[in-house]
């Protein structure tokens, strides 16, 4: 459970500070349903850009943002349905679009959710503390951004091998950027840096997304309902919610899978990972190129009881497909194969992990032999705006993208098989859950009783946590009421 005990003196100080800076906080209910956001806030947003450093953008931590750079308010949930001429499946595949969050990725939601309880209880004091955001990329961008909106100093931690776009923007947002050795899957090095900070820098508070329950809470209460809303909008009579396929970085987004599993009978949840780092499939390790996921450990907040399948994705394929989906020769080939110009124009809404998720969803739909009445949901966490430099690097390494390469890549896409798919038995689920022990208990000193509760007392553990969104909303509303009084 999230600790919601209040430090009254510190809370009052936070209220006073928000009053001086004109900061009001969104509730989970407002993040889920923007019709609950006050009209006065919506009016203000008409003059504010999507990425502007303005505290009203806290309300744009929302799946319903109008898809525009400047002055948007709220409409439908942002999603894309990928056409069958690309998926090759009978089932429909739909991805929520993270690009239209400030920072261009939905991870800003996890970051806000981790900070909110600390602020409204008073346990985090932005005047004396720095918020530290350990991440493989988008979470620390989100954390640095949210910290700026709240005028709070921040430290971003990410592996040196992450894309240039991330580092350049971060330098403008965080007070300090720490690049840890290695690439995507070198999370141990990130944790080591955190341990070092914890020991030596008392002014720092670490918001570790991999064990922060509010990360799960946000996706269960906000992202899951956004998927359900899209399903309601696009489903025809007799259609089924097939399930959700997500790759796991912190496993926060997996919380949306749990929501869908709880609310749609028969829906299943799959977790995707890079074949080059098959931790769930094989207890394996390794470097890979799907930025944002697969970090050689099982995150504390991954609920394995709710995970029905693991899917391995060869990282070479998303790397090739971002060229097919974004290079002129790729577009030409897709058009020849019946993909409409409208659909082609939307393909840049998938970043590398988005393409990986699409491939996972294709395997999932094929494995379960889903048909035209099934709808499978996945996540396009960020967009190609974050990976232009990867395209440039590939042109240098592999030569310009031409018709021959596009042909080969499209064939591979159409030939997606159901290899490296594990439908998880009870024992498989428990095996993966138990892997948490070695990092979280042995190395990082967490309490084994809680690890057992996640499994043995799962209904109370996860159910109790998810219900805290309502408690937090009461606390946020009371906090805001004192700010504006």
Ligand X SMILES: Cc1ncc(COP(=O)(O)O)c(C=O)c1O
Q: Which of residues 383-442 bind ligand X (CB under 6 A)?
A: none
- Which range, of 36-44, 188-196, 236-244, 251-259, touches ligand X by CB under 6 A? 251-259
Calpha distance 423→417 (Å, rounded):
15
Calpha distance 273→298 (Å, rounded):
11
Question: Could you say whether residue 250 binds ligand X (CB under 6 A)?
Answer: yes
- Which range, of 82-90, 280-288, 289-297, 465-473, touches ligand X by CB under 6 A? 289-297
- Which range, of 66-74, 153-161, 287-295, 368-376, touches ligand X by CB under 6 A? 287-295
Query: SS3 letters for the chain?
Result: CCCCCCCHHHHHHHHHHHHHHCCCCCCHHHHHCHHHCCHHHHHHHCCCECCCCCHHHHHHCCCCECCCCECCCECCCCEEEECHHHHCCCCEEEEEEHHHCHHHECHHHHHHHHHHHHHHHCCCCCCCCEEEEECCCHHHHHHHHHHHHCCCCEEEEEECCCCHHHHHHHHHHCCEEEEECCCCCCHHHHHHHHHHHHHHCCCEEECCCCCCHHHHHHHHHHHHHHHHHHHHHHCCCCCEEEEEEEECCCCCCHHHHHHHHHHCCCCEEEEEEECCCCHHHHCCCCCCCCCCCCCCCCCCCCCHHHCCEEEEECCHHHHHHHHHHHCHHHHHHHHHCCCCHHHHHHHHHCCHHHHHHHHHHHHHHHHCCCCCCEEEEEEECECHHHCHHHHHHHHHHHCCCCHHHHHHHHHHHHCCCCCCEEECCHHHHHHHHHHHHHHHHHHCCCCHHHHHHHHHCHHHHHHHHHHHHHHHHHHHHHHHHHHHC
For the bound state, the minimum distance from the C-beta of residue 134 to ligand X, rounded and expressed in Å, comes to 11
Instruction: Pick the binder of ligand X from 92, 351, 366, 483 (CB under 6 A).
Output: 351
For the bound state, the minimum distance from the C-beta of residue 111 to ligand X, rounded and expressed in Å, comes to 10
Question: Could you say whether residue 184 binds ligand X (CB under 6 A)?
Answer: no
- Which range, of 22-30, 236-244, 249-257, 472-480, touches ligand X by CB under 6 A? 249-257
Instruction: Pick the binder of ligand X from 224, 292, 312, 318 (CB under 6 A).
Output: 292
Calpha distance 3→400 (Å, rounded):
54
For the bound state, the minimum distance from the C-beta of residue 71 to ligand X, rounded and expressed in Å, comes to 27
Question: Could you say whether residue 14 binds ligand X (CB under 6 A)?
Answer: no
**Residue 347 CA from chain centroid, whole number:** 19
Give the side-chain half-sphere CA count within 13 A for 444.
Answer: 23
Residue (119 or 379) nearer to ligand X, CB: 379
Residue (123 or 429) nearer to ligand X, CB: 429
For the bound state, the minimum distance from the C-beta of residue 255 to ligand X, rounded and expressed in Å, comes to 8
For the bound state, the minimum distance from the C-beta of residue 98 to ligand X, rounded and expressed in Å, comes to 8
Instruction: Pick the binder of ligand X from 353, 383, 416, 480 (CB under 6 A).
Output: 353
- Which range, of 78-86, 145-153, 242-250, 467-475, touches ligand X by CB under 6 A? 242-250
Residue (377 or 410) nearer to ligand X, CB: 377
For the bound state, the minimum distance from the C-beta of residue 56 to ligand X, rounded and expressed in Å, comes to 25
For the bound state, the minimum distance from the C-beta of residue 379 to ligand X, rounded and expressed in Å, comes to 7
Residue (163 or 477) nearer to ligand X, CB: 163
Question: Could you say whether residue 137 binds ligand X (CB under 6 A)?
Answer: yes
Residue (292 or 330) nearer to ligand X, CB: 292
Instruction: Pick the binder of ligand X from 50, 58, 293, 355 (CB under 6 A).
Output: 293
- Which range, of 11-19, 132-140, 158-166, 305-313, touches ligand X by CB under 6 A? 132-140
For the bound state, the minimum distance from the C-beta of residue 354 to ligand X, rounded and expressed in Å, comes to 7
Report residue 248 as tokens: 């796991």
- Contact code string over 101-130 relative to ligand X, x by CB under 6 A: ----x-x-----------------------
For the bound state, the minimum distance from the C-beta of residue 136 to ligand X, rounded and expressed in Å, comes to 6
Helix axes 426-436, 448-456, angle to 10 degrees: 160
Is the distance from CB of 175 to CB of 154 less than 8 angstroms? yes
Instruction: Pick the binder of ligand X from 125, 165, 273, 291 (CB under 6 A).
Output: 291
Report residue 441 as tokens: 């208990």
Give the interface size with ligand X as a residue count (CB under 6 A).
20
Question: Could you say whether residue 65 binds ligand X (CB under 6 A)?
Answer: no
Instruction: Pick the binder of ligand X from 97, 150, 157, 251 (CB under 6 A).
Output: 251
Residue (385 or 400) nearer to ligand X, CB: 385
The residues that touch ligand X, with contacts defined as CB under 6 A, are 105, 107, 136-139, 247-253, 291-293, 351, 353, 381-382
């Amino acid at each position: 459970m999230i600790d919601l005990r209040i430090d009254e003196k510190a809370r009052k100080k936070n209220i006073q500070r928000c009053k001086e800076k004109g900061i009001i906080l969104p509730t989970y209910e407002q993040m889920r349903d923007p019709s609950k956001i006050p009209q006065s806030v919506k009016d203000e947003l008409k003059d504010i850009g999507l990425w502007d450093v303005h505290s009203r953008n806290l309300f744009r931590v929302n799946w319903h943002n109008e898809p525009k750079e400047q002055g948007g308010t709220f409409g439908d949930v942002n999603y894309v349905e990928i056409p069958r001429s690309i998926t090759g499946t009978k089932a429909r595949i739909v991805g929520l679009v993270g690009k239209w969050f400030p920072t261009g990725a939905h991870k800003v939601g996890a970051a806000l959710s981790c900070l909110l309880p600390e602020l409204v209880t008073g346990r985090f004091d932005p005047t004396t503390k720095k918020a530290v955001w350990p991440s493989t990329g988008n979470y620390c961008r989100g954390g640095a951004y949210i910290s700026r909106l709240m005028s709070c100093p921040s430290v971003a931690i990410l592996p040196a091998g992450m894309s240039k776009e991330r580092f350049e923007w971060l330098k403008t947002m965080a007070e300090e950027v720490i690049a840890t050795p290695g690439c995507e899957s070198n999370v141990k090095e990130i944790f080591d840096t955190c341990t070092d900070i914890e020991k030596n820098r008392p002014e720092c508070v670490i918001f570790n997304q991999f064990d922060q329950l509010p990360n799960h809470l946000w996706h269960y209460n906000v992202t899951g309902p956004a998927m359900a809303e899209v399903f309601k909008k696009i489903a025809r009579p007799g259609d089924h919610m097939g399930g959700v396929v997500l790759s796991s970085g912190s496993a926060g987004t997996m919380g949306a899978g749990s929501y869908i599993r709880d609310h749609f009978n028969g829906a299943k949840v799959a977790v995707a990972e890079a074949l080059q780092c098959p931790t769930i499939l094989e207890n394996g390790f390794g470097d890979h190129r799907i930025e944002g996921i697969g970090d050689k450990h099982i995150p504390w907040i991954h609920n394995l009881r709710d995970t029905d399948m693991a899917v391995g994705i060869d990282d070479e394929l998303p790397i090739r497909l971002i060229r097919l989906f974004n290079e002129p020769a790729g577009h030409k080939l897709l058009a020849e194969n019946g993909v409409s110009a409208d659909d082609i124009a939307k393909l840049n809404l998938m970043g590398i992990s988005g393409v990986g998720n699409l491939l996972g969803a294709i395997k999932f739909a094929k494995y379960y032999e889903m048909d035209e009445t099934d709808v499978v949901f996945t996540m396009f966490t960020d967009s190609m705006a974050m990976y232009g430099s990867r395209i440039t690097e590939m042109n240098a390494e592999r030569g310009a993208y031409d018709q021959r390469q596009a042909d080969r890549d499209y064939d591979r896409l159409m030939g997606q098989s159901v290899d490296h798919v594990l439908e998880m038995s009870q024992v498989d689920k428990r095996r993966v859950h138990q892997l948490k022990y070695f990092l979280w208990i042995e190395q990082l000193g967490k309490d084994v009783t809680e690890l057992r509760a996640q499994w043995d007392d799962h209904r109370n553990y996860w159910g109790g946590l998810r219900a805290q969104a309502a408690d937090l909303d009461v606390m946020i509303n009371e906090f805001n009421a004192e700010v504006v009084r």
